[in-house]
Homo-oligomer: A and B are copies of this chain.
Amino acid sequence: MADPLTSTRGQAAYRCLREMILDGTFPPETPLQENMLAARLGVSRTPIREALAQLLNEGLIARVSGLTPVVKRLSVDDFVEILHMRRLLEVEAAGRAARSSGTAVLRPIRERMMAFVAGEQPTDEEHAALDDQLHAAIASLSGSRLLTRYVTDLRLKTKMFDRGRLPERLVPGSQEHVAIIDAILAGQPEQAQEAMCTHLNNVRASILAYLGRLT
């Protein structure tokens, strides 16, 4: 049988709502009323409430003035804060990954990244999935479940900015990823940390430039 935890309607509703928030089906400030969601997902309010509680904990939604929770709008400051935290944690993770064994799992990811550098054009989903896979693998190689979880949580919140909005970052981003991987494979913690730090600084700079371009 499937994992009972992920096969309950409550968990399914959670994943569904999270996806709808991240992909823009529910834009920021959208009020999420329990009855509306229950009707829309075809379940009762009980699993909906469970899902909302989880999203509330994660910070993807918030109760602004008391009652009905709304989709949280990430301010630029929020975004910078999250990326700052990600840098702190992922730089640490990269350093620890370089000291770990089992780094071979990074090799197939490196191959795919090299293909992007060589000119292959992946779909957004493909690219995002590989990005996730790499950062998750590095966090996991750190050997700390806590670090892995925090990195995963933080990356979730910035994911809505990664949706193919910055195609010009594909090749340089992939090059930076390869640099991080190579430093880890070579067992050089300082270089791995530096490469990760550079990468995240570039991500921040390019997204801030994108946001500035909008105004």
Chain A contacts to B: CB under 8 angstroms = 4-5, 49-50, 53-54, 57, 63, 66, 81-82, 84-85, 88-89, 92, 144-147, 150
Nearest B residue to A143, CB-CB: B81
Query: Which of B49, B53, B63, B81 is A146 in contact with, Cβ under 8 Å?
Result: B81
Question: Which of B53, B88, B89, B92 lies in contact with A53, CB distance below 8 A?
Answer: B53
Whether the Cβ atoms of B89 and A146 lie closer than 8 Å is no
B150 touches A66 (CB 8 A): no
- Decide if B54 touches A85 in the complex (CB within 8 Å): no
Closest B residue to A145 using CB positions:
B81
* Known contacts A5-B63, A63-B5, A150-B150, A144 near B85 by CB under 8 Å: yes
Measured between beta carbons, the chain B residues less than 8 angstroms from A84 are 144
Stoichiometry, copies per complex: 2
The interface residues of chain B lying within 8 Å CB-to-CB of A82 are 146
Instruction: For A146, list chain B residues within 8 Å (CB).
Output: 81-82, 85
Assess A88 versus B89: contact at CB under 8 Å? Given A4-B66, A53-B54.
yes
Specify which of B50, B81, B147 is in contact with A85 (CB 8 Å cutoff).
Answer: B147
Could you say which residues of chain B place their CB within 8 Å of the CB of A85?
Answer: 144, 146-147, 150
User: Within the assembled complex, what's the spacing in Å between the Cα atoms of A54 and B52?
Assistant: 11
- In the bound complex, residues from chain B placing their C-beta under 8 Å from that of A53 are 50, 53-54
For A150, the chain B residues whose CB sits under 8 A away are 85, 150
Question: In whole angstroms, what is the CA distance A4 to B88 when docked?
Answer: 35
Whose C-beta in chain B lies nearest to the C-beta of A46?
Answer: B46
CA gap between A85 and B145 in the complex, in Å: 11
Q: Cβ of A54: which chain B residues have Cβ within 8 Å of it?
A: 53, 57
Q: How far is B54's CA from A50's CA once the two chains are assembled, in angstroms? A: 10
Contact of A88 among B63, B81, B92 (CB under 8 A): B92
